[in-house]
Amino acid sequence: MSVTTTNTSGETVILDAQRIERCIQRIARQLLEDHHEAARLVISAIDGQGTVLADRIAIALRSITQNEVLRCTLILDKDAPLDHPVRVADVKGADFDLSLLNGSVVIVVDDVLNSGRTLLHAVAHLLPSRPGHVGTCVLVDRIHRRFPVRADYVGKSLSTNLKSHIDVRLSGTGVDEAVLMA
């Protein structure tokens, strides 16, 4: 059963801090179950809230496996991904060694899957590095596809209208939450 509440701003809270943490733990366990034989798992974030989510998934994975877990961040222009270069950085901001993706399990993480465009461009950028497997992970899947992309690991699926907006807040001074703004 899914329970939603309204926060002090009048937004509908679809995931509160406790449910977000449960989603992260469940996703980490699903990843490990699916890829327990992988020597290396690379958690690759889409810059923004995807970075915070990927950090938390990587921490959860490291607490339950001895497999190597690496983290990198894809820095791209979400509005015009073809018009600007994509950069892959390590957690300290230096260029990530893309040769580490060769043969590895790579999971691309973002906060919300809406049209699929951002995930599609992120995955396309990583494919020349010859990963052994590529998967996608999002906290909220809105189910509004314009591109042939799906999330392999999802915290919450939610069917909304196209005018609605999902805002995932995982960092900063406020409380962790995902909210629906109509």
Q: Where are the beta strands (DSSP E) in 114-182?
A: 133-141, 153-157, 165-169, 177-181
Using pLDDT thresholds of 50, 70 and 90, give the confidence band for residue 11. confident
- The domains found in the chain, sorted by start residue, are 23-160 (3.40.50.2020)
Is the separation of the CB atoms in 46 and 76 below 8 Å? yes
Kindly report, residue by residue over 59-103, the tens digit of the pLDDT.
999 999 999 999 999 999 888 888 888 999 999 999 999 999 999
Using pLDDT thresholds of 50, 70 and 90, give the confidence band for residue 7. low
**Mean pLDDT, residues 20-48:** 96
Rounded to two decimals, the pTM is 0.91
Is the separation of the CB atoms in 89 and 75 below 8 Å? yes
Q: In this predicted structure, which of 25-39, 91-105, 111-125 has the lowest mean pLDDT? A: 111-125
* CA–CA separation, 116 and 145 (whole Å): 6
* CA–CA separation, 63 and 175 (whole Å): 24
State the burial class of residue 152 (Cβ atoms within 10 Å of its Cβ: 0-12, 13-18, 19+).
Answer: middle
**What is the model's pLDDT at position 57?**
97
